[in-house]
A = this chain, B = another copy of it.
């Protein structure tokens, strides 16, 4: 048991409150809190009392908090990247298989068998490159492996990613594309990663390549993507995120047959606090015990 004082804002979600109280901690106003569990958006983020030692954010991507200058170095910040990884990896697999298996054209074209049959590709025996192979990559790799795919991981350090056949650094990307059948974009949205997937990449990928983005829209140069899709430089794109988001209603992406767009639901918001709650409780137990916490943000490294 602890007498840790935790604020749950801006709404005292009952699942999260119950999870906090299950650790012995007290749910209090922000003015009296050592911990803030923030279930809102960056735009509503409150002024933080100096006494707040840890802020738990509910999202995986935290670029909105970083750009607004909210994340500081005076306390611990956690995101929920680890918590969401399995869910997002599942959506990445769903998008990739939907593209390879022509679910989009099937839904739209009504038993137009011959063109669909000839467009179907198998994930089995293909090579999938995961750009930004962190927590989501760790969750995606065993799924791809079970489907018989080979895996190339790309990360910043080049440190070998467990389960990947090969690991490259971001600086070595030009070597990666000729070895790649399909791409999953899973990197954070930073100044360095903006338009990491651009016209040069689409030119280097094979024409049968599907590109999946479950990270953030700006990772892909969307104008170059449109051009590549129309020209047939790649086979298709399956996007859970876009730039801007949502795309303009007149954006040609909507009408291209080789595009699948889901509305940023890789990690569905519905029911989220309920799923997040046990994870918050676990991190409270670790904070209280002084053991290493989950998903601590290290701004100088990650963003």
Q: Which residues does A use to contact B, with CB under 8 Å?
A: 86-87, 90-91, 93-95, 97-98, 100-104, 106-108, 110-113, 116-118, 120, 122-124, 142-143, 145-148, 246-247, 249, 254, 260-265, 268-270
- Do the beta carbons of B87 and A94 come within 8 Å of each other? no
- Do the beta carbons of B260 and A118 come within 8 Å of each other? no
Tell me whether A111 and B261 are in contact in the complex, defined as CB-CB below 8 angstroms, given that A94-B97, A124-B87 are known contacts.
Answer: yes
- Do the beta carbons of A262 and B91 come within 8 Å of each other? no
Give the chain B neighbours of A87 by CB distance below 8 A. Answer: 122, 124
Shortest Cβ distance from A275 into chain B, in angstroms? 9
- For the complex, what is the distance from the CA of A102 to the CA of B90, rounded to whole Å? 13
- For the complex, what is the distance from the CA of A106 to the CA of B263, rounded to whole Å? 7
A91, A93, A100, A111 — which one has the most chain B CB atoms within 10 A of its CB? A111
- For the complex, what is the distance from the CA of A145 to the CA of B145, rounded to whole Å? 12
A108, A122, A263 — which one has the most chain B CB atoms within 10 A of its CB? A263
- Do the beta carbons of A145 and B148 come within 8 Å of each other? no
Give the chain B neighbours of A249 by CB distance below 8 A. Answer: 110
- Do the beta carbons of A270 and B94 come within 8 Å of each other? no
- Do the beta carbons of B147 and A90 come within 8 Å of each other? yes
Give the chain B neighbours of A120 by CB distance below 8 A. Answer: 265, 268, 270
Tell me whether A268 and B117 are in contact in the complex, defined as CB-CB below 8 angstroms, given that A103-B94, A103-B262, A111-B261 are known contacts.
Answer: yes
Closest to A145 in B: B146
- Do the beta carbons of B107 and A101 come within 8 Å of each other? no
Among B107, B117, B124, B142, contact of A270 (Cβ-Cβ < 8 Å): B117
- Do the beta carbons of B146 and A116 come within 8 Å of each other? no
Shortest Cβ distance from A242 into chain B, in angstroms? 9
Give the chain B neighbours of A122 by CB distance below 8 A. Answer: 87, 90
- Do the beta carbons of A86 and B260 come within 8 Å of each other? no
- For the complex, what is the distance from the CA of A86 to the CA of B249, rounded to whole Å? 39
Give the chain B neighbours of A90 by CB distance below 8 A. Answer: 97, 101, 122-124, 147-148
- Do the beta carbons of A262 and B94 come within 8 Å of each other? no
Tell me whether A260 and B143 are in contact in the complex, defined as CB-CB below 8 angstroms, given that A90-B123, A90-B124, A94-B98 are known contacts.
Answer: no
Add 12 more A-B contacts to A143-B147, A146-B147 (CB < 8 A): A86-B124, A94-B94, A97-B97, A104-B107, A106-B261, A106-B263, A111-B247, A111-B261, A113-B265, A117-B265, A120-B270, A145-B146
Tell me whether A102 and B265 are in contact in the complex, defined as CB-CB below 8 angstroms, given that A117-B270, A246-B111, A270-B118 are known contacts.
Answer: yes
Tell me whether A107 and B260 are in contact in the complex, defined as CB-CB below 8 angstroms, given that A124-B90, A147-B143, A269-B117 are known contacts.
Answer: yes
Q: List 23 A-B contacts (CB under 8 A).
A: A87-B124, A90-B97, A90-B123, A90-B124, A90-B147, A90-B148, A94-B97, A94-B101, A101-B262, A102-B262, A102-B265, A106-B260, A107-B108, A107-B260, A107-B261, A116-B262, A117-B270, A118-B268, A118-B270, A142-B146, A143-B143, A143-B146, A143-B147
